Structure 1
Amino acid sequence: METGNETLSTDFILLGLFPGMRHTGLLVSTVLLVYTIAITGNTTLIFLIWADPCLHTSMYFLLSQLSLIDLAFISSIVPKMATNFFSGRRKISPTGCGAQVFFTLALGIAECLLLTFMAYDRYVAICHPLKYSIIISRQVTQLMAMGSWVGGALASLVHTSYALHFPFCGPRELHHFFCEVKAILKLSCEDTSAYEKGVVMTSTVVVLLPIGLILTSYTLIFLQVLQMNSPEGRNKALATCSSHLTVVTFYYGPAMLIYMRPGSSHTPILNQALFMFDTIFTPMLNPLIYSLRNREVVGSMRKVLGRYLISK
């Protein structure tokens, strides 16, 4: 039943991963496998950083925050997506949809900010090693982490409350596997072009400004590395920086394609593929990149496993 242009049902309908595609069950099962690996990898990394005193440094504290964000990020999307698929129920309440919009935006922005702070941490450690403990103190590190979480939450609160205040017409079908701002705006009865321009402007600030700061930090780092006389020190610095740069590329690459392409080039299938990589695969890859390419993390893992086996 309908009243005017609006249905009496207020629930949104998530059409899921690539609706109409064959073998969707296999794709969802693969996503659940990725989710399991992401949960295991990030939880293990957080535990290692907490358990090993050798990893109680600013860099690893920020890395533990990145893993915590990734855990929350992927968990705000995959469980609901899998539940909808296997239960056959595709509905999500307005409250649930608003919560999903808020958390995905907050965590996405928080990760942008945190990756920028991590790049600055590496810049100070390599370019100003004698002043590192003064500039990047424990209090400063905690402020970086807190600033990332609070900044993401505040920006997300503004966008979520504004995006969901528009009236919606007709069937509330979202061509997506989770509640995403741009997909929701397409259901509005009103002209949202002004707000969409605001989203683009915010995206430019949230994406381009941090990426500019990150690139500036690493340009200065590489100039400093080229001046190092010690091959061992040079290799250690490059190993640490290459891990972070890989994570930055995996995260910012899809984000820039999602939010900075012209509206005419947006297609549901391409958007879903980009969002899958950014919100599902990247949280799985991050702990693998940092652990496999970091001798200290590998050494810590061996140490902790050794203690566990000896205690048994």
Structure 2
Amino acid sequence: MGMAEINSNMPRDNTDELRWPMEPHALLHRMRGKVESVLIGKRDTVSMALTALLAGGHVLLEDVPGVGKTMLARAFARVMGGEFARIQFTSDLQPSDVTGGSIWDVKRGDFVFRAGPIMSNVVLADEINRTSPRTQSALLEAMEERCVSVDGATRRLPEPFMLIATQNPLRDEGTYPLPEAQLDRFIMRLSIGYPAPQDEIRMLGTGSTAEKLESLRPVVVPDEWIKLQQEAAQVHVHDALLAYVVEVAWATRRAKELTLGASPRASRDWVRAAQAKAYIEGRGFTVPDDFKATAAPVLLHRLVLRSGHETGAARQAEVLERIMQSLPQPVDAAGTGRKR
């Protein structure tokens, strides 16, 4: 019997609460291991993507073509179960191609709603920055409110709902920059990078991408994934760590190099990501290292450099690093002391 069958027949107690077949962090490690089996040598990226999705957020994968962005998204969809849909963003894609719309039903003699691909549990928005800003904006409501408004009616998206978007670097021909409001709705921006030579050799000897993805089976079902997300959101965060998050956010808003700093949504996402990281490691409380590890993926894509300053992701990282080093950091998980 496979993991999907075990989990779908998982015993429940009298309160109808899920009983895990293994410790939740072990279940999450199994998910991570399966994704790593198809994206060889990229444990850090896979771990951070798992953290982001467990936190209930959406992930933006930005990198050059051919390094496995689409494969990573498909692999996560496979191990999470649920309904999967892929939207190939092109210059002629319309908002209704994403959200769905009303069509004339000859038999009924009336208009009926036809759901778009956004009405799925795991949605891959492939090459999202190759379509116009008007079509990109169709995702804003879905990403934040978990619903879409079509023809005057608001329709809820299925639960869970996760968007994994890929984009090519903006220097590529035919790309559009994502609006700041949309970037702010991605909990993390991640890059994969080229594989190390030894990992590329292993990759070439393991068969085709399609074969590797086909071999993946769900580790959890949607109800179990929702429960994992709910438990991760209950991980304790000490007041001193919350104060540190706010201090960093305010420092980015005042930084002379930046015209746009971290939003309150960014602060919330940073806390959620740290909670998820702690939960994956089997802890019921966060520690400063959880926030240090998730700071760059959560915050960097939300920072906009002021005109006249050196541009680029490296410069954004330098600004964030300077800010974090300049502020007192909580000493331990309990937040009982602080240090420079």
Length-normalised TM-score, structure 2: 0.22
The structure that is helix-richer by fraction is 1
1 or 2 for the larger relative contact order (CA 8 Å, sep ≥6)?
Answer: 1
Length-normalised TM-score, structure 1: 0.24
The structure that is strand-richer by fraction is 2
